[in-house]
């Protein structure tokens, strides 16, 4: 009976030792006893995280109001243009290289729906050169990782007195921010 108790006690002690040993392996430890100025720096300690790709875009205002021509705009002929400086202000934040694209869709509304998509042109310089809007994505701006890049979009709209009927003209625009 005594040997059975000893065996039980020994088994219990071994299981406690094994539990303490497994905890010791999960910790970085070191020890140093000595004169002043000694230090202890355990090897293998780390901190880690996986950071995902971050992209952010804001567009202000969400709907840009374009300037309509008046009768005085057509005094010199049957066509005119109207410029809307900084009609959209786009802010981009990204933690990697990024590309901002824009594309348009067919004009809708109560006006002449045969108006060309290319009658709306854009510029990020506030003036010439202007790029005709298309229904395919075109690069508006690009850059490297940034805390904030602002792109001001100016629109120049082409108007024709004879073919642009009275009414409302709307074009859906798609701005896409990618970080490959």
Q: Which residues of 44-57 are buried (b: 16+ CB within 10 A; e: fewer)?
A: eeeeeeeeeeeeee
Question: pLDDT (tens digit, 9 = 90+) per residue, 36-70?
Answer: 767 777 777 889 999 999 999 999 999 999 999 99
Residue of 175, 151, 139, 140 whose CA lies nearest to 92: 151
pTM: 0.76
Question: pLDDT (tens digit, 9 = 90+) per residue, 132-163?
Answer: 999 999 999 999 999 999 999 999 999 999 99
Evaluate if residue 6 carries a pLDDT over 60: no
Alpha-carbon span 84 to 172, nearest angstrom: 17
Q: Which residue has the higher pLDDT, 17 or 169?
A: 169
Alpha-carbon span 114 to 116, nearest angstrom: 6
Alpha-carbon span 81 to 157, nearest angstrom: 5
Domains in the chain and their CATH numbers?
A: 55-178 (2.60.40)
Cα 136 to chain centroid, rounded: 20
Alpha-carbon span 129 to 51, nearest angstrom: 39
């Amino acid at each position: 009976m005594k040997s059975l108790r000893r065996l039980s006690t020994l088994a219990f002690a071994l299981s406690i030792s094994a539990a303490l040993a497994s905890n010791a392996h999960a910790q970085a430890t070191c020890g140093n006893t000595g004169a002043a100025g000694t230090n202890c720096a355990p090897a293998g300690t780390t901190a880690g995280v996986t950071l995902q790709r971050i992209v952010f875009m804001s567009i202000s205002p969400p709907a840009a109001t374009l300037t309509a021509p008046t009768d005085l705009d057509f005094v010199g002929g049957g066509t005119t243009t109207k410029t809307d400086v900084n009609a959209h202000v786009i802010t981009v934040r990204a933690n990697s290289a990024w590309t901002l694209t824009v594309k348009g869709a067919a004009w809708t509304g109560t006006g002449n729906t045969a108006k060309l998509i290319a009658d709306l042109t854009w510029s990020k310089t506030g003036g010439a050169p202007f790029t005709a809007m298309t229904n395919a994505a075109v690069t508006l701006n690009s850059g490297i990782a940034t805390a904030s890049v602002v792109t001001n979009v100016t629109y120049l709209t082409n108007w024709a007195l004879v073919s642009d009927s009275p009414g409302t003209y709307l074009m859906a625009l798609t701005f896409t921010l990618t970080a490959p």
